[in-house]
Chain A
């Protein structure tokens, strides 16, 4: 009896953990303010914040405190060019008197013998009189030209732009006057996307916990020096800026955008919230999907799972167990000819429920048809491993997949997920020969852990954490109309794009 009680308690704990909203926030030590762009080095993710602190993660989901920088300034940004990491960090010596300093390193990994920060000097400054406060650096390596750009500034006056030398990270022309490109914000940074330069600037007030009005706004320009106009055509030099992301839920004051490009059209952005109400109002790191619509960046939501129909964008057919489907509500019974045809009743049949439309085979039952009971339907399914195929979605039990986050293991900005037929333990699994099967139980092995990456068009790339005996990462792929397999992800193809629809 005690054992049963203990098991029940464990189950209750497991269930409550599975539905704990905390599982949807980055895991581990994520307290930071003004984080830099998240950057990858030697198998780990790094970000640096105000005070020279750093956070490090092996998988991009669970974070821990990393080594501090030799400078204790504010709001750093970091970029990797060639064999060097260039880190820019500012310090105020007066209300608007500030310098942005360069630090360089061959690696961010403190365990590497090459780990050594070197001072690179001041790359931008403000004298305390001019209309600028030279803090909050943000860097862009222009993919079209290879030129390196630095934006900086904070409220007092302008956000400014200067050019840096990509070979040294230093100011390219120290005597050249900086260009003004925006006002009314801080934490500026530029990104490039399909012919446009985007300037992301954090507006609103910072550093006031849950009373912070921080929000990230964006303008775009065809030229790196602007003018950066928002969606209404207002120049960011005149206070314009289309809202990119503001406070939502219990997360207050998003700021300090940083792009992380995973390749294949999949992007994330890093940011901090001034206050996470679930963490006592602490300032925390987050990493979210970056999507695009009409050539404007869109802040994606972290995927939290649920019960879904998984439909191939290529074929329109949906993933299902290879079992014989049973129509929802039972097989149709022919009750008569279509209304209006010879022999059809002239008036609706009498009886309980709402009056059906006309009569005959199109009349329905007059009452809602209940959802298919998977416990009942699955009694006829084979035991053991069952193949997986694709078919026309008809709301049947073998076509509904429960996607649940698994704590303790993740990828950049998300935990991994298990995928099971809703209401069962039949678990989608990658096999050694890189095919699909549904196993009868969830083992937690890498071939049963799945990552979901939202693509710009709202479809999803779905990948197992690993395929046994394969080093290569492969994505779930439609092959023909009725079968799925694994293949290298091709961002130009619809074969590896999936829609998640609520059944």
Chain B
């Protein structure tokens, strides 16, 4: 019994320490993220988009449908549902200056925990804005955006909200899938708000043809990227 008690107390202490670390992570290089360059980047072999502009996290709370919808509808900075930022752009949210970072992930998913930790930011009870611009070689009808996120997320394509998934959930490939939509020939803006309650946080996204086959004929270009070190 005493042994169990000691184990339990040790676990609780460890959990408290880890929880504190997670809330304000110390700066640790993001092993899965690289600074983007100015090239056109195709998706990976399974169609996952690996190049994103990500804003340093801002504070929020709640993962229910209502809480998430309220969080993403709140205006944190000017034109937040339309702006296509450039790498290094800054916004001011409630007195805090937050920076947009153009990043490539080496995985199918974007590890937001790595991202936040690399910039010594909170990872719990936070909202991440992410934007990317995909170039379609032609108009594509009846395709679907398919995403997974940890945790809740809301997604827009060319300004229209197309997916909302809620609750405390892990990233599952193609967890949330939009209704059929049309990609314009040329640039199309994909925007996401990912809200994390606690612990790990990440997302993945790709487009699918109507029969669920990954769409790989697109490229991602975020415009002129400043030369800078990886996070």
Number of A-B residue pairs having CB atoms within 8 Å of each other in the complex: 44
Beta-carbon contacts under 8 Å, A461-503 to B: 479-483, 485, 487, 495
| Cβ–Cβ < 8 Å partners of B212 in chain A | 479, 495
Say yes or no: is B44 at the interface (Cβ < 8 Å to chain A): no
Residues B175 and A324 in contact, CB atoms below 8 Å apart: no
| Cβ–Cβ < 8 Å partners of B177 in chain A | 479-480, 482-483, 485
Give the CA-CA distance A341 to B65 in the complex, in Å: 33
| Cβ–Cβ < 8 Å partners of B167 in chain A | 391
Question: A324-B64, A324-B65 are known contacts. Are A482 and B5 too (CB-CB below 8 A)?
Answer: no
Say yes or no: is A207 at the interface (Cβ < 8 Å to chain B): no
| Cβ–Cβ < 8 Å partners of A495 in chain B | 212
Say yes or no: is A58 at the interface (Cβ < 8 Å to chain B): no
Minimum Cβ distance to chain A for residue B68 (Å): 10
Give the CA-CA distance A302 to B212 in the complex, in Å: 33
Beta-carbon contacts under 8 Å, A427-455 to B: 433-435
Mask of B162-175 contacts with A, CB within 8 angstroms, 1/0: 00111100001011
Give the CA-CA distance A324 to B146 in the complex, in Å: 21
Residues B179 and A485 in contact, CB atoms below 8 Å apart: yes
Q: Give the contacting residue for A483; candidates B65, B66, B176; CB below 8 A.
A: B176
Say yes or no: is B144 at the interface (Cβ < 8 Å to chain A): yes
Give the CA-CA distance A485 to B179 in the complex, in Å: 8
Secondary structure at the A interface, as helix, strand, loop or mixed, is loop
Beta-carbon contacts under 8 Å, B19-68 to A: 64-66
Say yes or no: is B93 at the interface (Cβ < 8 Å to chain A): no
Question: A479-B144, A479-B212 are known contacts. Are A435 and B180 too (CB-CB below 8 A)?
Answer: yes
Minimum Cβ distance to chain A for residue B33 (Å): 25
Say yes or no: is A323 at the interface (Cβ < 8 Å to chain B): yes
Residue of B at shortest CB range from A341?
B8
Q: Give the contacting residue for B146; candidates A323, A342, A480; CB below 8 A.
A: A480
Residues A482 and B165 in contact, CB atoms below 8 Å apart: yes
| Cβ–Cβ < 8 Å partners of B9 in chain A | 342
Q: Give the contacting residue for B174; candidates A323, A342, A391, A480; CB below 8 A.
A: A480
Say yes or no: is B97 at the interface (Cβ < 8 Å to chain A): no
Give the CA-CA distance A104 to B167 in the complex, in Å: 65
Residues B179 and A435 in contact, CB atoms below 8 Å apart: yes
Residue of A at shortest CB range from B8?
A341
| Cβ–Cβ < 8 Å partners of B139 in chain A | none
Residue of B at shortest CB range from A477?
B212
Mask of A314-351 contacts with B, CB within 8 angstroms, 1/0: 00000000111000000000000000111000000000
Minimum Cβ distance to chain B for residue A265 (Å): 19
Say yes or no: is B94 at the interface (Cβ < 8 Å to chain A): no
Residues A433 and B179 in contact, CB atoms below 8 Å apart: yes
Say yes or no: is B79 at the interface (Cβ < 8 Å to chain A): no
Give the CA-CA distance A288 to B55 in the complex, in Å: 59
Mask of A71-86 contacts with B, CB within 8 angstroms, 1/0: 0000000000000000
| Cβ–Cβ < 8 Å partners of A485 in chain B | 177, 179-180
Residue of B at shortest CB range from A483?
B177
| Cβ–Cβ < 8 Å partners of A483 in chain B | 176-178
Residues B8 and A342 in contact, CB atoms below 8 Å apart: yes
Most chain A CB neighbours (cut-off 10 Å) among B164, B179, B180, B211 = B179
| Cβ–Cβ < 8 Å partners of B211 in chain A | 487
Residue of A at shortest CB range from B176?
A482
Interface magnitude class on chain B: 20 to 34
Give the CA-CA distance A341 to B180 in the complex, in Å: 51
Minimum Cβ distance to chain A for residue B73 (Å): 15
| Cβ–Cβ < 8 Å partners of A480 in chain B | 146, 174-177
Residues A481 and B175 in contact, CB atoms below 8 Å apart: yes
Minimum Cβ distance to chain B for residue A40 (Å): 29
Residues B165 and A433 in contact, CB atoms below 8 Å apart: no
Residue of B at shortest CB range from A324?
B65
| Cβ–Cβ < 8 Å partners of B210 in chain A | 487
Q: Give the contacting residue for A481; candidates B5, B164, B172; CB below 8 A.
A: B172
| Cβ–Cβ < 8 Å partners of A434 in chain B | 180
| Cβ–Cβ < 8 Å partners of B166 in chain A | 324
Give the CA-CA distance A499 to B65 in the complex, in Å: 26
Minimum Cβ distance to chain A for residue B144 (Å): 7
Give the CA-CA distance A434 to B141 in the complex, in Å: 14
Give the CA-CA distance A479 to B162 in the complex, in Å: 14
Residue of B at shortest CB range from A479?
B177
Give the CA-CA distance A322 to B69 in the complex, in Å: 13
Q: Give the contacting residue for B66; candidates A324, A340, A391, A479; CB below 8 A.
A: A324
Minimum Cβ distance to chain A for residue B107 (Å): 19
| Cβ–Cβ < 8 Å partners of B180 in chain A | 433-435, 485
Residue of A at shortest CB range from B67?
A324
Residue of A at shortest CB range from B177?
A480
Beta-carbon contacts under 8 Å, A369-407 to B: 391
Please name 19 pairs of A and B residues whose Cβ atoms are closer than 8 Å in the assembled complex, sorted by A. Answer: A322-B164, A324-B64, A340-B4, A341-B8, A342-B5, A433-B179, A435-B180, A479-B174, A480-B177, A481-B175, A482-B165, A482-B177, A483-B176, A483-B177, A483-B178, A485-B177, A485-B180, A487-B211, A495-B212
On B, residues with C-beta under 8 Å from A are 4-5, 8-9, 64-66, 144, 146, 164-167, 172, 174-180, 210-212
On A, residues with C-beta under 8 Å from B are 322-324, 340-342, 391, 433-435, 479-483, 485, 487, 495
Known A481-B176, A483-B176, A495-B212; 18 more pairs at CB < 8 Å: A322-B65, A323-B65, A324-B66, A324-B166, A340-B4, A341-B8, A342-B8, A342-B9, A435-B179, A435-B180, A480-B146, A481-B174, A481-B175, A482-B175, A482-B177, A483-B178, A485-B180, A487-B210
Please provide the 4 A-B residue pairs with the shortest distance between their CB atoms, ordered closest to farther. A480-B177, A324-B65, A480-B174, A481-B175
